[in-house]
């Protein structure tokens, strides 16, 4: 699905933007930390300060969640209702010959536990040192099952060739 240059570009950029569809039909975008394994892009809910739902309210959204308090996050509510999502990985530079982006679209899935969840959390902890001090194991991971890729610009430049993914 992803070409080699697109894969290197995605792995070289530390931040991306996740777009989900809100209950009102309006796009909801948030910046994310991410990791790529094969044709799946992962991001975790972390322990940065957030507002939380009560366990009862969250259980109505996803009864299988081990961290129901996380469901106040719009991205999780949106994915539970409508799993179509997009992730934009981009690079801005004052030298416009270096501008580039890769857009990944597909079905998002919320992972609460299991081998894939654990591999994604381990990858994200290796890639982002601040995650190592957070207790993330009980928190959900969002997996984007990449179905469509679009890219533009200077995605295969020396600046994006050094992969920061472990």
Q: What is the mean pLDDT of residues 29-41?
A: 97
153: left (phi over 0), alpha (psi -120 to 50) or beta: left
* pLDDT of 41 higher than 80: yes
pTM (global) more than 0.75: yes
Tell me what percent of the residues of the chain surpass a pLDDT of 90: 66
> How far apart (Å, rounded) are the C-alpha atoms in residues 115 and 152?
34
What tens digit of pLDDT does each residue of 66-97 get? Answer: 555 555 678 998 999 999 999 999 999 999 99
What fold is seen in the domain 4-157?
A: Pnp Oxidase; Chain A (2.30.110)
Higher per-residue confidence, 150 vs 72: 150
- What residue ranges do the domains of the chain occupy? 4-157
* pLDDT of 99 higher than 60: yes
What is the structure's pLDDT at 60? 61
């Amino acid at each position: 699905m992803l070409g080699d240059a697109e894969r290197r570009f995605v792995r070289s950029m530390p931040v991306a933007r996740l777009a989900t569809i809100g209950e009102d039909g309006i796009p909801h975008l948030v910046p994310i930390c991410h990791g790529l394994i094969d044709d799946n892009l992962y991001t975790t809910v972390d322990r940065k300060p957030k507002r939380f739902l009560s366990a009862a309210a969250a259980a109505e959204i996803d009864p299988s969640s081990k961290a129901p308090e996380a469901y106040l996050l719009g991205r999780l509510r949106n994915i539970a209702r409508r799993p179509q999502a997009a992730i934009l990985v981009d690079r801005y530079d004052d030298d416009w010959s270096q501008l580039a982006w890769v857009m990944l679209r597909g079905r998002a899935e919320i992972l609460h536990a299991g081998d894939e969840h654990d591999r994604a959390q381990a990858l994200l902890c290796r890639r982002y040192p601040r995650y190592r001090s957070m207790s993330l194991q009980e928190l959900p991971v969002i997996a984007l099952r990449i179905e469509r890729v679009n890219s533009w610009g200077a995605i295969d430049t020396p600046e994006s060739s050094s992969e920061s993914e472990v």
